[in-house]
Amino acid sequence: MGMSETLKAISDPVRRKIIEMLRKEKMTAGDIANKFNLTNSTVSYHLSYLKKADLIKEEKYKKYIYYKLNTSVFEEILVWIYQFGKDDKKGDNNNEEKN
C-alpha cells in the first residue's frame, strides 16, 4: 500500500489507539475489542484496514490470531517525514527570495 493509504489508515483515532496498544504487546482481536466500546465487527474492520495498510501483521498461535505492529512501515514513514526537517540553507534562501 502507498504512503497516502498508510497515512489515511493512521488518521482514524481508533486505529491509532489500536496501534498504541500493539506497540506494547501483541494482542488478539478479542483483547483489543475489550478495550473499546465497539462491536467486534467494527474492531475487525479497523484491524483489516490496518492489515491492508501493512501496519500490523497476524501471528497464529494454536487457535488464536495475534496482531502485532509491523515496525518497518513506521520506519519508512519516519524516513519520509525526516526529509522535511533537514536544515537545507540553500533551499531556505530560495524560498525567502520567492516570498
Q: Could you give all domains of the chain from N- to C-terminal order, each with its CATH number?
A: 3-98 (1.10.10.10)
pLDDT score of 61 more than 80: yes
The helix (H) or strand (E) run that includes residue 44 is helix 40-52
Least confident stretch, 16-25, 40-49, 77-86: 77-86
Q: What's the pLDDT score for residue 49?
A: 94
Cell 467494527 belongs to residue: 42
Q: What percentage of residues in the chain have a pLDDT greater than 70? A: 86
